[in-house]
Structure 1
């Protein structure tokens, strides 16, 4: 029997990857940005801790809330689309057959074969076959907003811990350099995980994340120096 991972649709996998990577990257970069801005302006560890921890919490919960709202809207749209197609079938008995056949014809299948496929599909599962052919949706397999929200919350919180702990635990002369190293490691890790789970090239994903991370650090450090 296949495990649950193998049963997930591509859309579900990509949604979890997107939520996790966005959450972790946002957690890492927003926290390190606040830390460098604050640490550049003051050497008070308590203020740095309050600023960093507050930002970590606000980032994690705002990312989770945003993911939940976004994915819930997507889920409702998917359900609405299915209702619209069911209504169309009720108004035109040949609608599903013509739409499915048209979908296959657009992929290069000849007309006779396309209609034969459509006839066979609608005899088994008419509405399921229609929405699958037209929208690549699968009835009952909607994107889970709670899964995306939880993934984003945890990944943002864990991501933000890397720079926060480095800034707070390292001795004064190593704070900035150590936090940069921790941030570089963290964003490289999220890039490699995204590449592995998404099955795309590893090196560009890691390099892209590291470059963005270092630019973020530099910008926020010099903003802090202004004060």
Structure 2
């Protein structure tokens, strides 16, 4: 069976990229703000940020790969089971689809006609979609999701890293706070748009998590200030 990347899968890859950038902003901001609370040495802050960027990039890419691979494996098992059942228990699979259509409230005649047409045209796609809720003709690509995260995480990391090291010592923490809040608002809006969810809630949630992260790490850093 030939497979293709659907629009929903492309959106998922884009969302992985947006969330990778979001995590890059948040993770490295927490690190550099925390270190800035402990020391004003720009080199120490920069090295800490770079280490966090590299570690986070690998972690995010591998996390996306493992997560999406697990999802893909589950889809492949479900598809294989459906193929087996269609070959050995076709009547039971037909009956499952028929009963499901009946539960939508349509007449038995229409349910029978729809089931026959769908099971004749593409039985595997029909049974997988009705039983498991996905289309076996499209696939989730773990490599694309991993690459999207691997690229976007360090890009997001650059903002807090540059802000904390380039602004004058007197303003660098405040400037980093402000720039990170703006960036998190943008990534929250983008993620909500791709996921077709409430944008305002996503932005507020993202900003609150970022502010709390930076406040906690900065406070911990000040405990070790010298």
Query: What does residue 37 of structure 1 align with?
Result: 34
Tell me, yes or no, if structure 1 residue 163 matches structure 2 residue 160: yes
**Cα separation, 1, equivalents of 2:137 and 2:122:** 13
Indicate which of 71, 74, 91 corresponds to 1:74. 71
With the length of structure 2 as denominator, give the TM-score of the two structures: 0.91
CA distance in 2, matches of 1:106, 1:58: 51
CA distance in 2, matches of 1:109, 1:140: 27
Any stretches of 5+ residues in structure 1 without a counterpart?
A: none
Stretches of structure 2 that go unaligned for 5 or more consecutive residues are none
Question: Highest relative contact order (Cα 8 Å, sep 6+), 1 or 2?
Answer: 2
For the residue of structure 2 that corresponds to 1:141, the secondary structure is: coil
1:112 is aligned to: 109
Which 4+ runs in 1 deviate beyond 4 A?
none
- Judge conservation of contact 2:19–2:187 (CA < 8 Å) in 1: no
Question: Is 2:103 aligned against 1:103?
Answer: no
SS in 2 for 1:172: coil
Alpha-carbon distance in 2 for matches of 1:21, 1:110: 45
Whether the 8 Å contact between 2:29 and 2:214 is mirrored in structure 1 is yes
Residues 48-78 of structure 1, C-alpha deviations (whole Å, 9 max, x = no match) = 1110011011111110101001101111110
1:192 aligns with 2:189: yes
8 A Cα contact 1:184 1:210, kept in partner? yes
Q: How many residues align?
A: 221
Q: CA RMSD in A?
A: 1.8
